[in-house]
Amino acid sequence: METGRSNSQMKLVSGDAGYLLEDVPHLTDYIPNIPTYPNPLRFNPAYSVVKQYFVDMDDTVAQKIVVHKDSPRGIHFRRAGPRQKVYFDSDEVHACIVTCGGLCPGLNTVIRELVCGLSHMYGVNKVLGIDGGYRGFYAKNTVTLTPKVVNDIHKRGGTIIGTSRGGHDTSKIVDSIQDRGINQVYIIGGDGTQKGAAAIYEEIRKRGLKVAVAGIPKTIDNDIPVIDKSFGFDTAVEEAQRAINAAHVEAESTENGVGVVKLMGRYSGFIAMYATLASRDVDCCLIPESPFYLEGKGGLFEFIEKRLKENGHMVIVIAEGAGQELLSERMQSGDQKDESGNKLLRDVGLWISHRIKDHFANQRKMLLTLKYIDPTYMIRAIPSNASDNVYCTLLAQSAVHGAMAGYTGFTSGLVNGRHTYIPFNRITEKQNKVVITDRMWARLLSSTNQPSFLGPKDVVESKKEDEPPTALLDGENCKDDQSGK
Ligand SMILES: Nc1ncnc2c1ncn2[C@@H]1O[C@H](COP(=O)(O)OP(=O)(O)OP(=O)(O)O)[C@@H](O)[C@H]1O
Ligand SMILES: O=P(O)(O)OC[C@H]1O[C@](O)(CO)[C@@H](O)[C@@H]1O
Ligand SMILES: [Mg+2]
């Protein structure tokens, strides 16, 4: 039973035992009588041997998988994959791909697999690359993308079609889509990009155009909610190990050696947390979600001194968004923002390195050798690793299957290990953050043996926030209502 719509993006369908499907829009929601065609995959020798290759129309994926016997079934998303019927004839499709926001390992793999998936699975040969992000729709030329052009691009970092921040003019973008006769739009980017994609979808729907809009979530920060993790995250964590290793080697080679590594993570400390857990060489990990302080009892300086006395060296990993509130007024960037409106951060790594050196030289009169390593762009400008390549391939293929099947206004995402179509507004309504009252953060604290820097009051406050954990965490409370994982 369809229970209603909060807006044109959200179709809610309820079922027995608290089952709720947060469905994605379909072109037929606003264009009646669109002709359908049998899915050309049924004639494809690679797939025709696969029993039940097509996804059952009723297949959905549960958001919550830790349950009690009397738990409500909760929120579900439509399962991704090829459908029996498609709503585009192969010759009719004119697709475009755009990449927006910061770089991320795997962007080129997604582009490659969109182009190859469209061509090899659906016989679609008209694919345009939009040059340089959203503004490329109206301010730049396009690039023709063929399987031959994209053949080797997954071995390179970056995005062959360029990216940018800012420049989202919905009306001009949709004019350009209309003028060029584009009817499938694939948009790869982070939370800002997906908000832009939602605006494009709304405008397309308002104009009644037969244009499918599909998002592919991208962010090395892993700050996109609902999905298990974002592509490129594993690669970034792996690359971060190299910086941590270097910091460790430098630190252990001198008396009272301290290695400080700053890693990306504007609002979410997932990269720092995972790189720390993977490395085991890190003595202290500082992330935006967990406040800390430097001086006095239980502070960072006290911990550094203790660890140096115990081990003679230590490694600190700090996410770029950590401790921003501690930076002095003079260092604050005030209200400076980038072109997309994201707040510009000050260099917390440099700041903390100076503060540590200053404290030990002047207050404690202790000789200490500190090396600061800032690998920021190096962890996102590299090609994706093997596992991210496979992940990117499936995300891209899922997006293609969804658009061909007439779905629109959706993001292709992995939920509990299954590929799904998620409505844009579920992806954009909040940011995914490390939950410091979750077991994963406790594992980190126990692995580094660092103080939590929290008083009992802070823990209670933080618990009250009730952030929904993601699959990268595992504090899922099965008694929760249907508000999320
Ligand atoms: N609320 C919004 N509505 C429309 N467009 C938006 C919105 N927020 C951001 N955008 C556009 O999306 C694009 C990318 O946004 P942004 O620079 O914030 O990166 P992102 O997609 O969040 O990726 P990341 O932060 O991981 O680098 C920009 O072109 C920006 O203009
Ligand atoms: O310098 P740029 O390109 O604006 O990107 C920096 C930001 O992009 C991110 O990598 C997210 O994509 C953040 O971690 C970082 O703060
Ligand atoms: Mg963002």
Dump pLDDT digits (tens) for 341-371. Answer: 988 899 999 999 999 999 999 999 999 999 9
**Between the CA of residue 137 and those of 67, 101, 141, 165, 457, what are the distances in Å?**
46, 15, 8, 13, 50
Whether the CB of 191 sits within 6 Å of ligand 2 = no
Residues in the chain: 485
Per-residue pLDDT, averaged over 5-31, amounts to: 87
Separation of CA 191 and ligand 3 centre (Å): 5
Which ligand 2 atom sits closest to the C-alpha of 265?
14
Confidence of residue 8 (pLDDT cuts 50, 70, 90): low
Q: Hunting for tokens 């077991």 — which residue is that?
A: 439
Per-residue pLDDT, averaged over 372-376, amounts to: 94
Per-residue pLDDT, averaged over 240-262, amounts to: 97
154, 100, 204, 173: CA torsion to nearest 10: -110
**Between the CA of residue 406 and those of 10, 34, 277, what are the distances in Å?**
16, 9, 42
Options 23, 131, 221, 234, the catalytic residue? 221
Q: Does position 9 have pLDDT exceeding 80, yes or no?
A: no
Has domain 238-382 been given CATH number 3.65.10.10? no
- Per-residue pLDDT, 470: 61
Q: Hunting for tokens 């103080």 — which residue is that?
A: 451
Separation of CA 189 and ligand 2 centre (Å): 12
Q: Does position 41 have pLDDT exceeding 90, yes or no?
A: yes
Q: Whose CA is nearest to atom 10 of ligand 2?
A: 102
pLDDT, mean over the chain: 91
Alpha carbons 76 and 415: distance in angstroms, whole number: 10
192 labeled binding residue: yes
Q: Parse the chain into domains and list their residue ranges.
A: 2-230+391-428, 238-382
Instruction: Please indicate whether residue 221 is annotated as part of the active site.
Output: yes
Which ligand 1 atom sits closest to the C-alpha of 101?
19
Which backbone phi and psi does 218 adopt, to 5 degrees? Answer: -135, 125
Confidence of residue 467 (pLDDT cuts 50, 70, 90): very low
Has domain 2-230+391-428 been given CATH number 3.40.50.450? yes
Q: Does position 1 have pLDDT exceeding 50, yes or no?
A: no
Alpha carbons 117 and 115: distance in angstroms, whole number: 6
ipTM of the complex: 0.97
pLDDT tens-digit series, residues 416-457: 999 999 999 999 999 999 999 999 999 999 999 999 887 655
Helix (H) or strand (E) holding 398: helix 386-404
Ligand whose nearest atom lies closest to the CA of 195: 1
**Percentage above 70 pLDDT, the chain:** 91
Confidence of residue 74 (pLDDT cuts 50, 70, 90): very high
Model pTM score: 0.94
Confidence of residue 43 (pLDDT cuts 50, 70, 90): confident
Q: Which residues pair with 37 in a beta bridge?
A: 86
Q: Does position 459 have pLDDT exceeding 60, yes or no?
A: no
Domains 2-230+391-428 and 238-382 share a fold: yes
